[in-house]
Structure 1
Amino acid sequence: MRKYRQRTRLEPTIALINVVFLMLIFFMVAGTLSQPLDKDVTLVRTADLEGRAPPDTLVVHSDGRLTYRGESVGSVQSFYTARPENEREVIRVVPDAELSALTLVNLARDLRAEGASRVMIVTQRGLDE
């Protein structure tokens, strides 16, 4: 009688190493690798600043009203034509949090139709410190 030799199964460590290596490469490519800041540079802290709209922005209230520098604006066309030539290319818009997305998209489309090359939406960015 022959003795049946039980074969030992090899663990797939090579396959596991390949998968881990591919994941490492993926995250290196997908992530942003940036140069470190100079040691002499200290970043500005904005935690204590009062939150208000920048002065040269079109503010859109939740009911669709438009204001610019605290004054009411009748329409997108009157706002755009009242701006100086050199300030018409980029328009900054501060929407109210309760404003409908459809209203905001329509406003941006109207500003682009008037001739603005870029419409920038200014939002609050929540950062945990």
Structure 2
Amino acid sequence: MRLKPPSAAQKEPTIALINIVFLMLIFFMIAGTLAVPLDTDLTLIKAKDLEGREPPDALVAHADGRLTLRGQELPDAAAYVAALSGEDRAALRIVPDRNLPARDLVKLGNTLRGAGAKRVLIVTERALQ
């Protein structure tokens, strides 16, 4: 009786996988450093204590659902869009309160789009880290 020689175990392609992951790592390290870093002697302005103001043509959505425009309370978002000319409907801006529920903000955006707004932009606060 003859015994079969044990078959050679197939090599797993782990080396190829390691090479691919390493090349991806190098690529993302290089691609992530395309922006020129700030000068080391530059000191940025601190805007923590500045008063924030909404753009004058933006619709302000308060946390309790009220809508205001330039300090005047509006009865309805659809009436606001209907009062605008066609050119002004191209891009409407909303400044939502931080505590406004997201579903209310989405509902407001859908109402504005349904009333004829072509684009609805949300104005937010952006901080440089």
The normalised TM-score by structure 2 is: 0.68
Per the alignment, residue 108 of structure 1 pairs with 109
- Say whether residues 1:123 and 2:115 are aligned partners: no
Query: For the residues of structure 1 that align with 2:46 and 2:85, how far apart are their CA atoms?
Result: 30
Any idea what SS the aligned residue of 1:85 has? coil
One-letter amino acid of the counterpart of residue 60, structure 1:
A
Q: Deviations over 1:51-97 (max 9, x none)?
A: 11110100000110000111011101111011232111100000001
Cα shift at 1:50: 3.2
Structure 2 counterpart of 1:25, from 4, 24, 27: 27
Q: Matched residues, percent identical?
A: 48
Instruction: Give RMSD over aligned pairs.
Output: 2.9
Query: For the residues of structure 2 that align with 1:125 and 1:22, how far apart are their CA atoms?
Result: 30
| Residues 25/117 of structure 1: CA separation in 2 closer, same or farther (3 Å cut) | same
Per the alignment, residue 76 of structure 1 pairs with 77
Per the alignment, residue 59 of structure 1 pairs with 60
Q: Deviations over 1:26-52 (max 9, x none)?
A: 4445x4845x6xxxxxxxx68375311
Query: For the residues of structure 2 that align with 1:121 and 1:115, how far apart are their CA atoms?
Result: 17
Cα shift at 1:115: 1.4
Aligned length: 107
Any idea what SS the aligned residue of 1:87 has? coil
One-letter amino acid of the counterpart of residue 25, structure 1:
F
| Residues 84/53 of structure 1: CA separation in 2 closer, same or farther (3 Å cut) | same
Query: For the residues of structure 2 that align with 1:49 and 1:85, how far apart are their CA atoms?
Result: 35
Structure 2: where are the runs of 5+ without partners?
1-14, 37-44
Structure 1: where are the runs of 5+ without partners?
1-13, 37-44
